[in-house]
Amino acid sequence: MEKKSLLIVCDGLGDRLVDGVTPLEVADTPNMDSMAKEGICGLMDTVLMGVRPGSDTAHMSLFGINPFRYYTGRGPFEAAGAGLKLEEGDVAFRCNFASIKNGKITDRRAGRVEEGLEELADEIKKIKIKGVEVLFKRGTGHRAVLVFRGNDLSPNVSDTDPEEEDSGYNKSRPLDESMEARKTAELLNEFTEKAVKQLTGHEVNRMREEKNKLPANIVLARGAGMKAHIPSFMEKYGLSAACISATTLIKGVCLEAGMDLIEVDGATGHVDSDIGAKATAAIKALDVYDFVFLHLKGTDEASHDGNFKSKKEMIERIDVEVIGPILREIGDATVALTADHSTPVGIKQHSADPVPIAILGDVRTDDVERFTERDCAKGGLNRIRGLYLVHILLDISNRIKLFGA
Amino acid sequence: MEKKSLLIVCDGLGDRLVDGVTPLEVADTPNMDSMAKEGICGLMDTVLMGVRPGSDTAHMSLFGINPFRYYTGRGPFEAAGAGLKLEEGDVAFRCNFASIKNGKITDRRAGRVEEGLEELADEIKKIKIKGVEVLFKRGTGHRAVLVFRGNDLSPNVSDTDPEEEDSGYNKSRPLDESMEARKTAELLNEFTEKAVKQLTGHEVNRMREEKNKLPANIVLARGAGMKAHIPSFMEKYGLSAACISATTLIKGVCLEAGMDLIEVDGATGHVDSDIGAKATAAIKALDVYDFVFLHLKGTDEASHDGNFKSKKEMIERIDVEVIGPILREIGDATVALTADHSTPVGIKQHSADPVPIAILGDVRTDDVERFTERDCAKGGLNRIRGLYLVHILLDISNRIKLFGA
């Protein structure tokens, strides 16, 4: 009677109307539509009605972790995703290697040139600051993570990353009046100055410039967050859970939620990803785990580019390469197909428009015949909240205990 | 890409069935229906499912201010609406000039005779009570506002207004065991006695009685509330907002929510109001403000009178004189049409029946073709909560920040 559950999230899948239709509406999606037909459909506000979710807060919600309670910033998730094991009380920042000239940021990603960044990261790791332990780890590309470990720290500090070019970098400021926020902002400013000193004129940068490439001579930080105790999937539900994602931030959220990571060769997190291999890995993971989460990023990438055609094509690829095989192999597991948020191609950013959802399993099938935003709006689930999704899936899978007697 | 937002609230618009139909269903409303057709529709619980909203708590919710957290009583809103500037910690009461004879209230509104009330209000203003500053301001008609300013006050006290005639007035009692509530109840009782003494035999009242008019010889208080810090529209959303309403209480809520008031000649708050002038003012206000709120009271007045026909006619007037011009002039602004609560003509009071809502803008159009309670129930919004409405509108208008990263 107890069943396994598979949650498939197509990042940024939901959309608004462009010339009267959404990408999901024009895409050819026989497999998704069969889920809609044989399952129960609805709309979902992943965080809350009218709230534009970030990728981190959306996934927290989808895993039953209330972001209004637990979210302080993306830093800790980036750190976890990059493989830096945090301790409670640590403050973590998402960082970029960037280029600065005459006090102005000339490129926020150091031209996306990776050459020598590993060596420069080793240089940064040497930075010592009184009263705090400094941890630093390079992620993929120009990305990195900075962690302060010590007493009396606060995530309530502003970014040094100006989020635009042709301006200077920002001094971090405390965002409340606490001693801890003041201290943490000062630490970040000291770190930033020392990083500039360490990187400027470094041999790696001399070589980059000789080759007419931008130097990576500053580290910009943003998204300060504090590691908190988030109850794990096992603690909350008594279940084992696994995650398949190629996105550092999402992997970090999954790790913090107590999931195991399953790495898949060829999974890139871009539209070129080998999503078929991810689907195969997800099906296999269900042999071992009670709950499997499969994350597909390409739809969001196409949305941020404002590319309707590419989004439609990515949806069609997911339909054939992911949903098709899963429906053939899934047996009696409960399967949900949805998104973490809408990213309308018309605005190229996340929106609060609710996302479509279809659940296949021991459900009350409705009349919905297509997996689209507007068809699902007429579904039997009506409009649900993301925070309750895991509970709903585990209920359908008969994996959840009674509240009361 | 960023758009303006207009929220149109027809007070008490929602209804139940009378002989199988609602006033909205039988009214001829081509413009409202065109909003339903071209927009997205749904039902809305302004405060919470099953909660009968007051005008104050409903509008707080509609502006994103949680009444369960911030509402203590209507007093502070009446005071703000009447132009009394409150300070935090003030306790305010909505008051009536009334008539008392041999210890019994003979008319709760002193016969609605305004003659000399201004002079009597000046008399009341002279009242001194030890330990507290007493502020008093006459509103429209028989209405007035009383404010206690000082330390250790509480809104948790009962009304002196018995809300019925032929009984004595009530002694105010503390509604909890705090010293503050006891003190405030005593202050209110002392005020009431001094007011009776001041007004009884006053020359104004002698003249009123000579003319066979009821004396205004007591001030009845109700709706104690404490001025609290409500985050303004600008603080919460970074937006400028304006309100067009002829109702003191609603103006008060808008002021407390940080909106500017726009006064319109001929706006009365009754069925005779020049609602066309209000629509014109709303359209004009959108040139200046990011968010405009337009309040129309007539529908609620007809509902409280239990007058189906008058409600239907008011709806038709709104359709022609307000919605028509707005649809012609609005450009690409996001427009929402809804109500603050249902006031079914059959029960002549507010009910918790959800209200219909239609939103025009960058939305996922649905199949709804008429703006009625039952048609909107089939709309693409499903059922939303009033507290999130501003967020939803600002999301559609692309005016809201990401929560997370």
Minimum Cα–Cα distance from B401: chain A residue: A52
Question: Between A56, A71, A352, which is nearest B391 by CB?
Answer: A352
Whole-angstrom distance, CA of residue B149 vs CA of residue B246: 28
Please provide residue A335's backbone torsions phi and psi, each rounded to the nearest 5 degrees.
-125, 130
Domain boundaries, given as residue ranges, for chain A: 5-72+230-396, 78-226
Q: Verify whether the Cβ–Cβ distance A54 to B364 is below 8 Å.
A: no
AA letter at B70: Y
Q: Is B357 on the interface with A (CB under 8 A)?
A: no
- Residues in chain A within 8 Å Cβ distance of B239: none
Q: Is A182 on the interface with B (CB under 8 A)?
A: no
Whether A167 and A108 have beta carbons less than 8 Å apart is answered as: no
CB contact residues (below 8 A), chain A span 161-180, against chain B: none
- If you count residue pairs, one on A and one on B, with CB atoms under 8 Å apart, how many are there? 90
- Tens-digit pLDDT string for chain B (405 aa): 899 999 999 999 999 999 999 999 999 999 999 999 999 999 999 999 999 999 999 999 999 999 999 999 999 999 999 999 999 999 999 999 999 999 999 999 999 899 999 999 999 999 999 989 999 999 888 999 999 999 999 999 999 999 988 899 999 999 999 999 999 999 999 999 999 999 998 999 999 999 999 999 999 999 999 988 899 999 999 999 999 999 999 999 999 999 999 999 988 877 788 999 999 999 999 999 999 999 999 999 999 999 999 999 999 999 999 999 999 999 999 999 999 999 999 999 999 999 999 999 999 999 999 999 999 999 999 999 999 999 999 999 999 999 998
Q: Is B382 on the interface with A (CB under 8 A)?
A: yes
Whole-angstrom distance, CA of residue A131 vs CA of residue A148: 10
Q: Is A373 on the interface with B (CB under 8 A)?
A: yes
Residue A229 has pLDDT above 90, yes or no: no
Whether A386 and A62 have beta carbons less than 8 Å apart is answered as: yes
Q: Is B37 on the interface with A (CB under 8 A)?
A: no
Q: Verify whether the Cβ–Cβ distance B403 to A347 is below 8 Å.
A: no
- At a CB cut-off of 8 Å and minimum separation 6, what does A139 contact? A78, A81, A82, A145, A248
For domain B5-70+230-396, give the fold: Alkaline Phosphatase, subunit A (3.40.720)
Minimum Cα–Cα distance from A57: chain B residue: B404
- Residues in chain B within 8 Å Cβ distance of A58: 404
pTM: 0.92
- Residues in chain A within 8 Å Cβ distance of B401: 52
- Structure ipTM: 0.91
Specify the CATH class of A5-72+230-396 in words: alpha beta
- Residues in chain B within 8 Å Cβ distance of A71: 403-404
C-alpha distances in Å from residue B223, one per residue of B79, B140, B166, B172 = 11, 17, 21, 12
AA letter at B120: L
